[in-house]
Structure 1
């Protein structure tokens, strides 16, 4: 069995971020085979989420706030995509990695839209031949997203949404291969980041079913007619 090995001349170290919120532990000096071994050793396929970048492995266990925002945004996306008749393939926290790019990530949420036909029914996605997801979503509460974004950039994920407790940001890969903040989402045009964020942070509900009901009514009565007007 493979072991978690250290590249020659380096020392494996760990860092742990202690905070009320997401818990982050980082190991340094891990080679690619060690990273694969860590993935194989995970007993819980969901948590902690693992990110690998240039010999550093980060483990993130989400807080309740993180999971609430993540669930709200997932519900929002699925309701809007379904309500607008936009075909999609959700792949959740699937691991995407490429050894030659020295990066791997288990996304917060990932979606195939225009490229869904290339990967549907595949048991394993190989990014050396398969396209990356069209959209990745990251929730950030107390941990930085820099390493995760850099992995997405190296894997050429065309669009990433970064959501915090205070804002949602659309990032789109530009011609130079870097993420640039944009006012309009490529994956879901016609809705502003502020509008989405207002829905996923909306309070006053003691039942998520009521929130979902209001969202779907808004999609049918407001969003769909608005988008029909803009496409005429």
Structure 2
């Protein structure tokens, strides 16, 4: 695996992941600047471990991420809820942590961020729901503790993991607080994989039909 980092460039082959140890917040900010428009490269920082993780997702990552995001939007429409979504986005808590979910949604806190191009967690609330697709790297709920997103979904190996933040740490849950009456843990994997086999629009239409039947 070949990694190149200069003042104006980061190159990492698809599927690659690199961990840089003994790093500072300043190192993290410089890497974000070096990435420029390469949004596909994700950069995480954890002050507790002093580590920076740099990841270049595989091509299939984007398709599954888009599908999962579309399914969440279908769920929100089904519940009659408005939302604002961001993809991609960098969420930073100064000098503590920085990460980049595959997608995130403002639902209950939607009004607080309307019209904003950038989210500043010093003054803005975190997203209500964040989504992560793990194909090549492993996202841990602890990565999100400093950011304090109320609900985190991690999709890994055809399984949807749901984590709820209790104010101090994340607890795994079989139910979603965003969609409490819908068995998303059982439904979502079927339709993420269905999109891979039959196409995104087919899977989405079938999912919406299933919701009407609940």
TM-score using structure 2 length: 0.85
Q: Which runs of 5+ in 1 are unaligned?
A: 5-15, 227-232
CA-CA distance at 1:133 after TM superposition: 0.6
Question: 2:156 maps to which residue?
Answer: 164
Question: Deviation string for 1:160-212 (max 9, x for gaps)?
Answer: 0011123101100125x111111110112222202111221126844432222
Q: Which runs of 5+ in 2 are unaligned?
A: 1-5
Q: Report 1:182-197 matches (<5 A).
A: 182-192=173-183, 193-197=185-189
Q: Report 1:136-147 matches (<5 A).
A: 136-146=130-140
- Structure 2 CA distance for aligned equivalents of residues 137 and 49 of structure 1: 14
Q: Which has the larger radius of gyration?
A: 1
Question: 1:8 maps to which residue?
Answer: none
Question: 2:3 maps to which residue?
Answer: none
- Assess if the C-alpha contact under 8 Å between 1:97 and 1:103 holds in 2: yes
**SS in structure 2 at match of 1:30:** coil
- Assess if the C-alpha contact under 8 Å between 1:158 and 1:173 holds in 2: yes
Question: 1:25 maps to which residue?
Answer: 18
Aligned length, in residue pairs: 202
Q: Report 1:58-137 matches (<5 A).
A: 58-100=53-95, 102-137=96-131
Question: 1:38 maps to which residue?
Answer: 31
Worse overlay, 122-131 or 160-169: 122-131
TM-score using structure 1 length: 0.78
CA-CA distance at 1:66 after TM superposition: 2.3
- Assess if the C-alpha contact under 8 Å between 1:135 and 1:157 holds in 2: yes
- Assess if the C-alpha contact under 8 Å between 1:92 and 1:111 holds in 2: no
RMSD: 2.3
1:48 and 2:48 aligned:
no
- Structure 1 CA distance for aligned equivalents of residues 152 and 171 of structure 2: 10
Question: Deviation string for 1:34-64 (max 9, x for gaps)?
Answer: 2111111213341201101123211111113
- Structure 2 CA distance for aligned equivalents of residues 199 and 211 of structure 1: 6
- Assess if the C-alpha contact under 8 Å between 2:106 and 2:129 holds in 1: yes
